[in-house]
Structure formats: C-alpha cells, structure tokens
Amino acid sequence: MELRKDTLYHLAGATGTEILRRGFPTKLPLWSAQVLFDKPELLKQIYLDYITAGADIITTNTFRTQRRTLTKAGVAHETERINRLAVEIAVEARKEAQADRPIYIAGCMTTLEDCYRPDLMPSEPELRAEHTEQATLLASTPIDFFLLETFNTIQEAVIASEAVSKTKKPFMVSFTANEAGDILNGDTWDEAVRALTPLRPLAILVNCVPPAVAEKAIQKIKKATALPFGVYGNGAGGADNEDGWKFDEADKVQDYLHSCKEWVAEGATIIGGCCGTNHDYTRAYSALTRH
C-alpha cells in the first residue's frame, strides 16, 4: 500500500467510546475489547455506520487485545481467537457495506500499558516479546496495514514498529501528545522521525488529543518529516477512570470540522476522529477533499 499525497484519506471515528455511547460498558481492564466477548454484532454495526458515513479506513478493535491485557481479565487463553475475531468483524463489515470506493482495514496495535502513562512502560524484553506476538498474529489476518496508535514514547513505538516491519506489512505510527504539542513523555517529533524513518512507515500521525493540542503537534510534525502525516483528535468529553470516557453532549462537530480544515490546509492527508467522536464527525470531515 502507498499513500498518495494528492489524496485525503478519512479514518473512521472512535470505536471504544462509540461502543460505550451505544450502551455497552467499557470498563477496565478490557475496555473496548469486552464487546468482542459479549456483543460482537454491535462492533460490526459501528463499522457499517462509519463506512456509510464516509470513512475510507476502519481500525480493528485490537487496542486492548494483547495477551498482557487479557491476562489481567483472566482470559489469556483467548488471545489468538479474540484478535482474529476482531479482524473478521471488520472484514465482514467491509463486505456487507458494498461501498463504491476502496475500504482499508488497519490492524491496531498500541502501548502495552496505559497510553496516558509512559511511566508504566514495561522492560525492553517484554516490549519486544509482546509486540512481536501481536504483530505476528495480526499479520496473518487480512488487514491491509498496521496502525500503531496512541504511543507515548519513541522507545516503545520503535520496538512495535520493528515488530510489524518484520511481517512485511505496511504501517503507520501515531503518537499522543502533551500540552506543548510534543510526544506525551516529552520526546520530540524530530527524534521520532529520525528513529522511525529507517523502518519506512507510511505516515506519522498524532491522535487522542484535543484539537488545539493537535494543531501544535501538526506544526512540529510537518517541519520534521517529508512523510505523509495526519491527525485524529478527540471530540467532546474527556477521559474517565471508571468507564473510559465521559461524554459532553454539547455539539462540537462543526468546531472539529473547522480544525480538520486547518489540518488539511497545513498539509495533513489523513484525517479521522479519536475518543468522543462518532459518525456525525466522520460524515462531516469525510466531505473534505485534498486540493
């Protein structure tokens, strides 16, 4: 897969918070992965709705399906089945949608521990072993590419990138950011680009941040790399320790769309939505095109 710089790609909005919005609990430790055990049909409907809303890329619900997380829930023996099921649901949704455009499936991988807590990052041997396990498993499924998302340190992002690059599948890397627009733990985008470029990622992105923080990050990313870059920020609401997200019912879609237009003007070619966004957000930004 190659990304055209004259094309704007639209990522689906949030999966985890949309599961919660539709009435299914997303409590720790499994968070969004619980739906795979109890109500997989809900996940497929969410994908179908995103494709109908205009998404070109849907992301597998494998954000919290690493063996480490499943072990915390006492279901480590389900690791392979649940990861494969997550991909199967996305594939089924793509087929049922019968869209008149290509729909890509991104295999999601993220930090082994809390994406907001870089201080919890496991040891290097653990990172290598566990990211390699999930990368190898997902690479054996019909995903089109990997989306390594919400990474909070260069170190873990590079180790995960090395794991997926060995599978020969293409991949994108997305980091979350701090208030200054740097990577969450204070690493810089220049450092990230230097570390990742030899591994040949498709694109560098920022995600899971408010639009104002995303704007600061984009300014730094575009100066640091000639690679395609993109943004999928958060919608209305905020992180919640109990349920994962607390919704703000204020209509922020037009505000978010305004930010998306600014990101596209800055040169972003991948636009989507993270926590708190939904199909209304996707319908709005999917109307944007690259000029």
**Count of CA atoms in the C-beta half-sphere (13 A) of 94:** 22
Q: What is the pLDDT of residues 36-85, one digit of tens each?
A: 999 999 999 999 999 999 999 999 999 999 999 999 999 999 999 999 99
User: What average pLDDT score do residues 224-253 get?
Assistant: 85
Q: What is the pLDDT of residues 124-158, one digit of tens each?
A: 999 999 999 999 999 999 999 999 999 999 999 99
* C-alpha span between 110 and 157 (Å, rounded): 8
Asked if 13 and 277 touch (Cβ cutoff 8 Å), the reply is: yes
Predicted confidence at residue 14, as pLDDT, reads 97
Tell me the pLDDT band of 171, cut-offs 50, 70 and 90. very high
Predicted confidence at residue 291, as pLDDT, reads 58
User: pTM here?
Assistant: 0.96
- Domains annotated on the chain, with CATH: 9-285 (3.20.20.330)
Who's near 75: CB < 8 A, 6+ residues apart? 37, 82
Q: What is the pLDDT of residues 158-169, one digit of tens each?
A: 999 999 999 999
Q: Which pair of tokens denotes residue 179?
A: 């208030």
What is the average pLDDT value for the chain, to the nearest integer?
95
